[in-house]
Amino acid sequence: MILMPKKRKNFRSNYNNSRNYDDPAYANFRKEVRKRDGNVCKYPGCGSKSKLHVHHIKKWASHPSMRYDVTNGITLCKKCHDAIKNNEEVYESFFFKILEWDAIQRIKKKEDEQ
């Protein structure tokens, strides 16, 4: 019998960078982002309502103060979320512009209703 060496754990993964999906603050963050986004993928041209993820626009690991900030989250479907992997920084300003545009549209709609 050949014994394989144990896979080394990334020591950083357990040093304030691991996500606890059961954490009420994290669950609330995800819930509020999906609610704001109407439970649809916000990637232009997609609009999927299934397999939704909440993406941190500024990375979880490098921006701990923004981890639960709703303005740092955007709803993406799994397909769109996977498509941006390893290019997150490229999409930061793009996603913030989408959120800005949506906020302006909500304000205009509210003004029209008054």
Largest alpha-carbon pair distance within the chain? 76
Instruction: Please indicate, yes or no, if residue 7 is contained in any of the structural domains.
Output: no
Instruction: Please indicate, yes or no, if residue 13 is contained in any of the structural domains.
Output: no
Provide the number of structural domains found in the chain: 1
Instruction: Please indicate, yes or no, if residue 16 is contained in any of the structural domains.
Output: no
* 38-47: pLDDT as tens digits: 999 999 999 9
Instruction: Please indicate, yes or no, if residue 3 is contained in any of the structural domains.
Output: no
Domain, as residue range, for 58: 23-113
* 48-87: pLDDT as tens digits: 999 999 999 999 999 999 999 999 999 999 999 999 999 9
What's this model's pTM, rounded to 2 decimal places? 0.81
Instruction: Please indicate, yes or no, if residue 53 is contained in any of the structural domains.
Output: yes
Instruction: Please indicate, yes or no, if residue 8 is contained in any of the structural domains.
Output: no
Instruction: Please indicate, yes or no, if residue 5 is contained in any of the structural domains.
Output: no
